[in-house]
Chains A and B, each alone.
Chain A
């Protein structure tokens, strides 16, 4: 006899017919939504839609792939702007412990964070009772080799190639994310009360002589702080700008690379590289995408053919007659 009684039933069930005949009908509304009759498109995978899709994708992907591949392979002549990268391998810049070891407030010029960096920066938060600026493991391990490039001309004195330091970081990083702390006339005053990261030779306000490329907004620093996705990575080091349309930026010849070696990589079995490259409309040299596009395009085309054959084979058997229920 148990029942789910609640007062709702009592109210609903009320006097069966309220005197006066004002009883409201409980008839459900006849709307398309409530009756589940909303107008709808009911796509099904028919040969008419699926096969063209595969062929079209094949026909689109293969040319794209060839385009990418060719472009990528053409990035060879040292024409146009030349980008100078340094590469590191077996360097886990994406290690969680490493990635989080920074204080974005501090880097954004927040004065309180400058003097009191986030706990995430441990153990590179304070040194000798002074806050470290910039704090954290990423900053501490900043790449500090110096690379210089010389062209050995016909005459014996090598000509240094002009390497541009600025313009290598994202605009947003340089202008939004990284800002020097406010106040003070000189940069040194602004960073007063802080100390340099343990591994650094110079404090942060002595990274460069150009005031627009010093302190937190030093572009080498910014580039380093944008951590890499994978343990083998390259980072933009310098730009070699094209001088005129007539001459290649880096003419053929013998070059001489002078490396001031500061950065130890042997302990973790790492490698350092220097890469010179131009870029195209789709970035630097990377054959993967081109090959992938060609492969997927071909597979898609092939699949289309296979499906066409199968569909042809089974077409006859799909009549309404074989709805067996």
Chain B
């Protein structure tokens, strides 16, 4: 079959993957991930489809219609409706159903074995707590909503602008916004105070990018809709797409004055943005309230659950099954007993001639009710409360607070805390996560000569040299630090012409926008690299001052010169370079270009003297992990330029494939360049990154770095953060490809594609020993995981299969391919996990998510992804736990994360301290919870052997009601919140303590059954010791020698004391609250019991409180106290003995550390006095990756951002229509 052969032979056919390129465009992250099918669609077909789509422009999707100043045209419900008080969502549905069924069962008189309040009161309490929690959330949200809803802006009403509240804004309104206003809805920009109705917005809320964005109104609206009257009479009609969540896309048309104008995302101001640098602007509301794009985005929360959640659910099911089995057994016992004894006991006659088996059946349900406390009712809500508390502890942690940015750590979800203690794999982004993403100009190579080291003006290197003094330069910003005095010397002397040329290039060749405020220059750059370069040039005396549509003004060492800009050849990710063509005042035409070394070197002139030296310099820079750019220029003849300019003009008005046409034209002029040199920008590692990584590695956590950077950079950063060391053997894509290939062959020989059904053989890929690391590029990843193959088979699949036979063959081969792919993936993951470090470079966001998913799927390990940028969102959402760094790149990663903080190094505290504690607390809590419910409930079971299996309870109804709610809940909750086995300092000092969570040592099925067994044994002791005591007589005064009520009180008292002392034993961190709660619970039990057994309450409710006098009569007798003491002692002494033994014979690491706590503490203090904290190890660098963002060249050359005189009216209209035509055509 065609496809199959295809898939078998690709290795040979395909050329080697290219390490340099990122496999495919990665801009559309979210949708690609959601819709796996479309992603594997070949580029070509997608392109074709786009062309097709464009041919019949956007009309078919445009069903949303808005008429300006006509609210009735589009009736929409407005703004957020706060939901108040709901009896909770799906999470609890099963549990709530269970208790509802119980309540219904209890309403049946034949079955009801407990008073109605015994289940209702705890249920109401649980629901009450849940409701209060929801209510608190809701009230907080409501308050926020109210604040937001009551913000004001100006809306046209009755032909005038009037102040209105946000909540009154409706679709179709025309509104006016002022500088620094939040935008209340998604609006179409009509006009603004700026020329050409430009509007600057800050989109930090949406995508986290802190630089300003430009939005432009249509020429026509800009022209006609400047005044209040015209706006009030504006009757444009907008047809556009339905509300959706694509922040960067918008399609629609404006129909006005019998003309239609296309609308795109450039003309839409989105809710959540802030108006900046614009005095006021006018807009038409297109989407309001819940329809806004940002709100549409908010609904998508992927509900993550923890391993313990799943485990807990299974355990609850197990208990449920046990409940049914036990009830069934007892029901059978009852039927038997009735037949043997009950039927002959005249005193039991109840007037109903029921058969023993029918009585047994009824008793089955009766026992379900009596034993229902086995299934812990308050488990879910308690777990939630504990997690909430733990989340707050994370939020409150001062040691995860970053004071420089005033950012505390934040647990954005409150349901995952204990999973933080179980992490196996960490997937980390590089830029902004491991590094600071603050670019500083560090070094440069000009004409083969490297500058930037510490040296004085006469080229002597010193280590302790002072910073260069830039005071001679009036434009210097004072924040720039540079240590090479020789470079300054060179610039000032002007001996080497290239030095000046170099900085001139940096000052002129960019797309930075400048804003002059009180004589202060403010640069707005598209990428931090570019900003760093322009600022550096400014400090070295070449200051970019101003630009217009076609000029640029530079201050060159004090002299201001204006150059006319002939063309800006903008950056994009394919070109990886940008150029500018200028005409000097002298009339020379020059092209300046900067870009990635690979692309620049291809376009250099043959005769370039410094080519080799620069190449060497680039290598040096790369090894110092600096990000590099090559700079070059060329002179252009007037004639040559004129010719080229013609082509350029033609291309820029091309109707189809304009971008490609432009690229081609650019390519023509960007050749035979003369190399000037290279820049090196430092992207500093964040503080404490290597320390954190080594700590985490000691905790047996594997760290994978996933980055878009190139291989060399990634490798360098690997060394910088000590992920890789000198003795690490590094494997690359090609190495492991062959390894996996051989493995696949072996597996095929063993059992073909069905090898996966054979018992898995664990044979390592590498010989044992040695430290290995894997560095793999995105292309290799695709190659190894057969991602390409799916593409290819997709093409084939697109052809419609003709015959049934063919279809069958095709599905078969597809299945075979799937199996093969799966096996490859598994092999890859196995191999990668044998390496101590894995670095994936040149990977797309989708691939990042894919890698995380692979590990998640095949290793069944808990994964954590940490990142800061929009390109990490997929990964963060895919991993079990997503952590966002709230850093330079802004909010987007944070918004989709589960935890966020400002610095990578806080990760160690989050995992090793908070995660570990949370895990231990949760495990202890669950173990105890199951224990206490079993110890409590199974007493009924033992008792049933002595009461004819009649479902008689062993306790008073009120005790059953309150046991879980009052007598045993608070101490365990407090332990779940506050317990710590070792302090945070020791947790960090001994990262090995972390492995208990990874290996699920503290809570698993074994532990669960041990807890149950403990509960069962306790319940036996609790029943049989009092039983022995009650066998004959009890009672000092001889009255009521062995009555049921005293018996119940004896067992209940022993139970309460036992479980509270047991939690005391489990608590390893006794604060006064713990002590108070434990003794308080016991005291509360006795207090309430004496109250409920008092005469007064019986007089008021004789039927509800039947135990009158029992407590006082029973607990007055030493005999009963002796019984209680004996029971408690027998319950607890074995526990103490076993714990002591296990601590002595098989001490865990935590036990050892606890035992020597004092010594370690003393040691620590001594060390602190001794050692000076190691600093400065973080001065390592990372290498170049050009910002992936497109520059502002388009904007600059269209002149929109620059104040210019208002063009004559007709010209603008003409231009507008021209633009419209252009867009429709393309």
Chain A residues engaging chain B, CB cutoff 8 angstroms: 1-11, 13, 15-16, 23, 25-30, 34-36, 38-47, 50, 53-54, 57, 61, 64, 68, 81, 83, 85, 90-99, 101, 103-105, 107-108, 110, 118-119, 122-123, 137, 140-141, 168-173, 176-177, 223, 226-236, 239, 264, 267-269, 277, 279, 281-286, 288-289, 292-293, 296, 300, 303, 307, 310-311, 314, 318, 320, 322-325
Question: How distant is the Cα of A52 from the Cα of B274 in the complex, in angstroms?
Answer: 71
Other-chain residue from B978, B1102, B1133 in contact with A38 (beta carbon distance below 8 A): B978
B141 touches A6 (CB 8 A): yes
A8 to B, closest residue via Cβ: B144
B950 is contacted by which of A97, A141, A226, A277 (Cβ under 8 Å)? A97
Q: Is the CB of A92 within 8 A of B341?
A: yes
Residue pair A4, B298 in contact (C-beta under 8 Å): yes
Q: How many A-B residue pairs have CB under 8 A?
A: 375
Give Cα A83–Cα B1038 distance, bound, in whole angstroms. 7
List 14 A-B residue pairs with CB atoms under 8 Å apart, sorted by A's residue number: A9-B205, A27-B401, A36-B917, A45-B1139, A61-B1126, A105-B1102, A108-B1098, A170-B1113, A173-B1109, A226-B1044, A235-B1041, A293-B1126, A318-B1147, A323-B1152
Residues facing A in B1-35 (CB within 8 A) are 29-30
Please tell me if B351 contacts chain A, counting CB pairs below 8 Å.
yes
Contact of B1036 among A8, A279, A324 (CB under 8 A): A279
Contact assessment for A286 and B1044 in the assembled complex, using a CB-CB cutoff below 8 Å: no
B1028 with A97: CB separation less than 8 A:
no
Binding site for A on B (CB under 8 A): 29-30, 80, 109, 113, 140-141, 144-145, 147-148, 180, 182, 204-205, 207, 245-248, 272, 274, 294-295, 297-298, 300-301, 341-342, 344-352, 366, 393, 395-398, 401, 403, 406-408, 412, 698, 870, 873, 877, 891-892, 895-896, 917, 946-948, 950-952, 978, 980, 984, 990-993, 1025, 1027-1048, 1068-1074, 1095, 1098-1099, 1102-1103, 1106, 1108-1109, 1112-1113, 1117-1119, 1122-1123, 1126, 1129-1130, 1133, 1136-1137, 1139-1141, 1143-1145, 1147, 1149, 1151-1157, 1159-1160
* Distance A192 CA – B848 CA, assembled complex (angstroms): 89
CB nearest to A17 among chain B residues:
B406
Known: A282-B1122, A300-B1133. A85 touches B1041 (CB 8 A): yes
Are the C-beta atoms of A42 and B1070 separated by less than 8 Å?
yes
Q: What is the chain B residue whose CB lies nearest that of A173?
A: B1109
Least Cβ–Cβ distance between B327 and chain A, in angstroms:
14
Q: How far is the CA of A170 from the CA of B1042 in the complex (A)?
A: 13
Across-interface contacts of A320 in B (CB, < 8 A): 1152, 1156, 1159-1160
From B344, B396, B412, B698, residue with most partner A Cβ within 10 Å = B396
Known A-B contacts: A3-B873, A13-B204, A28-B398. Give 10 more (CB < 8 A): A5-B297, A10-B144, A30-B398, A36-B980, A104-B1103, A141-B346, A226-B1043, A226-B1045, A323-B1152, A325-B990
Instruction: Select which of A10, A92, A168, A288 is within 8 A of B947 by beta carbon.
Output: A92
Given contacts A5-B895, A96-B951, A289-B1119, contact A122 B345 (CB under 8 A): no
- Cross-chain contact B1136 with A4 (CB below 8 angstroms): no
Q: Which residues from A are CB-within-8-Å of B80?
A: 7
Q: Shortest distance in angstroms between A44's beta carbon and chain B's nearest beta carbon?
A: 5
A160 to B453 Cα, complex, angstroms? 122
Contact A53 B398 (CB under 8 A): no
Per CB-CB distance, the 5 closest pairs between chain A and chain B, nearest first, are A325-B992, A172-B1109, A123-B351, A284-B1033, A3-B895
Given contact pairs A104-B1103, A122-B351, A323-B1152, A267 touches B344 in the complex (Cβ within 8 A):
yes
Contact between A27 and B408, CB atoms less than 8 A apart: yes
Bound state CA distance, A42 and B1067, in angstroms?
8
A286 to B1041: give the CA distance in the assembly, Å: 11
Q: Contacts A27-B408, A42-B1157, A267-B346: A4 and B301 contacting too (C-beta < 8 A)?
A: yes
Could you say which residues of chain B place their CB within 8 Å of the CB of A91?
345, 347
Given the known inter-chain contacts A28-B408, A45-B1140, A95-B348, please indicate yes or no for A283 contacting B401, CB distance below 8 A. no
Contact of A288 among B397, B1031, B1141, B1156 (CB under 8 A): B1031
Give the CA-CA distance A228 to B350 in the complex, in Å: 19
Inside 8 A of B1099's CB, which chain A residues have their CB? Answer: 108, 176
Contacting pair A10 B272 (CB below 8 A): yes
Shortest Cβ distance from residue B941 to the other chain A in the assembled complex, whole angstroms: 14
Distance in angstroms between the alpha carbons of A286 and B1156 in the assembled complex: 49
Contact of B1137 (CB < 8 Å), options: A1, A30, A285, A307: A307
| Residue among A16, A81, A91, A318 with most chain B CB within 10 A | A318
Contacts of A2 in B (CB 8 A): 30, 245, 297, 300, 873, 877, 896
Q: Are B1037 and A279 in contact (CB under 8 A)?
A: yes
Contact of B1153 among A1, A34, A57, A323 (CB under 8 A): A323
Chain A residues near B1040 (CB, 8 Å)?
Answer: 169-170, 223, 226, 235-236
Contact check: which of B29, B397, B947, B1129 meets A296 at CB < 8 Å? B1129
**Chain A residues with CB below 8 A from B298, complex form:** 3-6
Interface pair A172/B140, CB less than 8 Å apart: no
**Beta-carbon contact of A35 and B1129 below 8 Å:** no
A35 touches B1102 (CB 8 A): no
Query: Is there an interface contact between B1122 and A68, defined as CB atoms closer than 8 Å?
Result: yes
Q: Which residue of A lies closest to B34 (CB)?
A: A2
Are A284 and B1038 interface neighbours, CB within 8 A? yes
Known: A1-B245, A5-B295. A233 touches B205 (CB 8 A): no
The reply to whether A282 and B1118 form a contact with Cβ atoms under 8 Å apart is: yes
Most chain B C-beta atoms within 10 Å of own C-beta, residue among A29, A30, A286: A286
- Assembled-state Cα–Cα distance A323/B1155 (Å): 11
B346 x A264 contact (CB < 8 A): yes
Residues of A within 8 A of B877 (CB): 2
B1160 contacts across to A, CB distance below 8 A:
320
Q: How far is the CB of A130 from chain B (nearest CB, A)?
A: 17
List B contacts of A6 (CB < 8 A).
141, 144, 298
Question: Which residues from chain A contact B141 at a C-beta distance below 8 Å?
Answer: 6-8
Known: A168-B1039, A170-B1040. A230 touches B1032 (CB 8 A): no
A323 in complex: contacting residue of B348, B1071, B1149, CB < 8 Å: B1149
Residues of chain A contacted by B300 (CB below 8 angstroms): 2
Please determine whether B408 and A236 come into contact, CB atoms closer than 8 angstroms: no
In the complex, which residue of chain B has the Cβ closest to the Cβ of A232? B1031
CB B1161 to nearest CB in A, in angstroms, measures 11
Given A1-B247, A8-B140, A103-B1103, A229-B948 contact (CB < 8 Å): no
User: Counting chain B CB atoms within 10 Å of each CB, which of A23, A284, A293 scores highest?
Assistant: A284
Q: Across the interface, do B1042 and A229 meet the contact criterion of CB distance under 8 Å?
A: yes
CB B179 to nearest CB in A, in angstroms, measures 11
In the complex where A2-B297, A323-B990 touch, is A25 in contact with B406 (Cβ < 8 A)? yes
Contacts of B895 in A (CB 8 A): 3-5, 9
* CB neighbours of B295 from chain A (8 A): 5
User: Do residues A27 and B873 form an inter-chain contact, with CB atoms below 8 A?
Assistant: no
Inter-chain contact B1153/A45, CB cutoff 8 Å: no
A311 cross-chain contacts in B, Cβ below 8 A: 1140, 1144
The answer, among A236, A269, A281, for a CB contact under 8 Å with B344, is A269
Q: Are B1041 and A172 in contact (CB under 8 A)?
A: no
B226 to chain A, nearest CB (A): 27
B residues near A296, Cβ cutoff 8 Å: 1126, 1129-1130, 1133
**The one of A28, A119, A235 that contacts B401, using a Cβ cutoff of 8 Å:** A28
Residues A1 and B1141 in contact, CB atoms below 8 Å apart: no
Residue of B nearest to A46 (CB): B1155
**A299–chain B nearest beta-carbon distance, Å:** 8
Residue from B294, B1043, B1126 within 8 A of A229 (CB atoms): B1043
Residues from chain A with a CB closer than 8 A to the CB of B301 are 4
> By the criterion CB–CB under 8 Å, are A92 and B948 in contact?
yes
Instruction: State the Cβ distance, A39 to closest chain B Cβ, in Å.
Output: 7
Shortest CB-to-CB span from B144 to chain A, Å, is 4
A35 near B398 with CB under 8 A, answer: yes
Q: In the complex, A125 Cα to B873 Cα: how many Å? A: 72
A122 in contact with B401 given A267-B345, A279-B1035, A289-B1029 (CB within 8 Å): no
Instruction: Tell me, rounded to whole Å, the shortest Cβ–Cβ distance linking B155 to chain A.
Output: 20
| Shortest distance between the CB of B415 and any CB in chain A (Å) | 13
